[in-house]
Structures are given as structure tokens and as C-alpha cells.
Amino acid sequence: MKTKQFKIFVILFAIGLTVFSSCQKPDPDSQSAEDNARGSYIMADAFAVSNSEAGGTGGKAVYPEGMTVVRDSITHSLTIRFDSCDFRGKVRNGIIHVIYVPRLTIGLRAVDLTITFENYYIDGIHVEGTVKTTFGGTYLKPAIHVVATNMKATFPDNKKLSWSSDKTFTMTEGYGTYTIDDNVLEISGTVTGTNRAGKEFHSVYDQVTLKRSCPDGYPVSGTVTITSDKGETIIDYGDGTCDDIITISNNGVTITIHLNE
């Protein structure tokens, strides 16, 4: 299903950011970069879990031990409850609440979601806040607009990450074909937050692009600019070539990183 392919791209993007943010370099704001990536992953994961359940009947669903889903087709709502459940490779506790609105206006089965959390933990990280996703675009170039407000992640060491964001994920190529290898995803938008060191940061995504045909799954072009107390850190993904190379610039110093090394 094409909606599933679109969802997978969103998750790959979040994972790709986590890889580069773990590089320990003295000049860039690595803490804000890492926390920016962690926030992206948490939202992508919540979207993946919620979107897979929204709009379904639940009649044939088989859930792992410790997971229950209660749905109300009249109010278009879901309650996804976890009790020490290992689901999608993460141990989860608590509740994800979902309100969904079916959309058929762009020629595909899709739903708009409002996602909130109740005493929810993923691998020991307490997640709070609201995520709203809206489908749009056109049939050949569908898009998801994702707005997160008052998000907070409290880690087992009691350090906290908080953020709000506004991003658009657009499938610019490959939607109307019968293969996913030609899919191209573009991400633009902003994130404003406070990292786990207590420092404020602001990130701008400018046409960050992923190609499904690239084996490593890293972005191939576009930039992420992070502004914080360490100045301006610019992560440049290149010219569209499938490779593991990015450049990071900060305070007049530019370094090149191979993500696979």
C-alpha cells in the first residue's frame, strides 16, 4: 500500500538523523543535533503506530502480549494501551490516544491524526505532548504536514528534552508507479526546543531529500541549520548523490564526515 511506503520513508528520515548526530565533534552543537534527531524519531514512531491502526476495523488484527487497541468507529478514536509490551523493537508502557479523520480527497486512503499520550513510555523515555498530522498535496505528490506542540521527553537519567515543530514531508517522485525504488521524499520545516543540557535551539530543514534507491538510507541533499548558544551549525547532505558524506559547518569551520566510518 502506498500509504505504508510513505510512512516508511518518514521513519527512515528520523533514523538517518540519529546516525550523524552521534558523531562527537568539538565545534558543532552535537547535543542539539542529537536531541533534534531523537525528537524526530519519537514523533515518527508515534505516527507509525497510530497510522497503522487508524481507520482499520481491528477484526483481523493480532497484537503482541501487553498491547490492546480499543476503537470507536463513531467518534473515529483509538486507545492504544501498552503494558510492558515489546512492540516494533521497543518496550512500551502507557497509552497513546488517537483521533482520526478519514480523507479521500487526494485519491488515496489516508487519515488525519491527532495523537496525545497518557503516562506513555518508550524504552523508559516518558513522552508527553500533541502531534497533529494532515494529509495534503496531490495524487502524484502527496504530503504530510506534521505539527507537534508542547512535546517533552524525560529520559531515565531525568534529563529533559522539550520541543515544538512544524514540518512537511512531500513525496516528490515515484508515487504513481508500482515500485518503491523510485520514491523520493523531501522534508522542510522548523523545530524549536530545549535540549537535555538545558540550552535552547532552533532548527530549519531546507529541502532535505531522501531517495529510496540509495542503499544506506541517508539524506542525499538539502540542509539542516541549527542555531543555539554555540552559534550556527549547518549540516549539508550534498548534491543528490547516493553516498555517506555530509559536511558540518560551525563558526567558520567546515568538516566532512563519512557516516559509515
Question: 12-21, 49-58, 124-133, 212-221: which has the minimum mean pLDDT?
Answer: 12-21
- Angle among Cα 24, 227, 258 to the nearest 5 degrees reads 35
Q: Is 249 within 8 Å of 233 (Cβ atoms)?
A: yes
Burial (0-12, 13-18, 19+ Cβ within 10 Å), 72: exposed
- Residue 59, pLDDT above cutoff 70: no
User: Looking at residue 230, what is its pLDDT?
Assistant: 85
User: Looking at residue 80, what is its pLDDT?
Assistant: 96
Q: How confident is the model at residue 24 (pLDDT cuts 50, 70, 90)?
A: very low
User: Looking at residue 119, what is its pLDDT?
Assistant: 98
Cell numbers for 170, please give them: 512531500
Q: Is 88 within 8 Å of 45 (Cβ atoms)?
A: yes
- Residue 18, pLDDT above cutoff 50: no
Q: Which of 261, 257, 234 is nearest to 246 (CA)?
A: 257
If you average pLDDT over every residue of the chain, what do you get?
Answer: 82
Q: Is 201 within 8 Å of 227 (Cβ atoms)?
A: yes
Q: Is 237 within 8 Å of 219 (Cβ atoms)?
A: yes
User: Looking at residue 17, what is its pLDDT?
Assistant: 45
Burial (0-12, 13-18, 19+ Cβ within 10 Å), 252: exposed
- Residue 237, pLDDT above cutoff 60: yes
- Residue 56, pLDDT above cutoff 90: no
Question: 25-39, 63-77, 126-140, 194-208: which has the minimum mean pLDDT?
Answer: 25-39
Q: Return the CA Rg of the chain.
A: 18
Q: Which helix (H) or strand (E) holds 250?
A: strand 245-250
